[in-house]
Amino acid sequence: MKGSFIFWFLVLGLLAMPLAAQEIYRVVDAQGNVTYTDQKPDEEANPLELPELNVLGDEDAPLPEAETESAGEPSAPLGFRIVSPVDGDVLEHGSVQVEMDSNVAIPPTAQIVLFLNGQPQEAIRTLDITLDQVPPGPYQLRAELQTPGGRRLAETDSIRFQVNDPVEDDSTQ
């Protein structure tokens, strides 16, 4: 049991290092002791194939259900969602305030990529952003939570909104 804990602690620690792309080797000595190293022990040694570290869990596994505060109500799955704008919003200006929410703690290394009409925007590391100078027209928006390498961990539902031309104030005429 203790060896298993040390093994996983060592593997996770090595994966979290900035040089995680380095090859890792498993070495067993004459007494059966297992050691993990980044030094190739001999010419026949093959590096371990380690999965990409995913601090949010397996993206293909079903999400656990969140607890609800009041008894009798169905529980909702954990998720990542766009809070604002809401689906069907009509905005009267050229900047769009986008706010997102998540039921899980987002690790500081994760990035969020917004897709505006299918086009990826620059990755961000915050749950809110203002998109400036959005021209009038219809839009579809979704967001992906990704690893720094671009692997998708979670995705929001798509929302649609409209940006109209700014309306001039009638009191100035």
**Better-scored residue on pLDDT, 13 or 97:** 97
Q: What is the 3-state secondary structure (H, E, C) of 49-72?
A: CCCCCCCCCCCCCCCCECCCCCCC
CA 22 to chain centre: 24
SS3 (DSSP) at 125: coil
Average pLDDT over residues 13-26: 65
Domain segments of the chain as ranges: 1-53, 80-163
**How confident is the model at residue 45, as a pLDDT?**
79
Residue 5's pLDDT is 59
Average pLDDT, the chain: 77
Question: What pLDDT digit, counting tens, does each position of 24-36 carry?
Answer: 888 888 888 888 8
Average pLDDT over every residue of 11-28 = 67
pLDDT value of position 17: 53
Q: Using one digit for the tens of pLDDT, what is the confidence trace for 64-114? A: 444 434 444 443 455 889 999 999 999 987 789 999 998 888 888 889 999
- Indicate the CATH number of 80-163 among 2.60.40.1120, 3.40.50.300, 2.60.40.10, 2.40.50.100: 2.60.40.10
Average pLDDT of the segment spanning 43-68? 58
pLDDT for position 9 = 61
> Peptide bond before 85: cis, by omega within 30 degrees of 0?
yes
User: What's the rounded Cα separation, in Å, for the pair 65 and 63?
Assistant: 6
Check: pTM over 0.85? Answer yes or no. no
Any idea what the Cα angle at residue 142 is, between residues 137 and 144, rounded to 5°? 150
Helix (H, G, I), strand (E, B) or coil at 35: strand
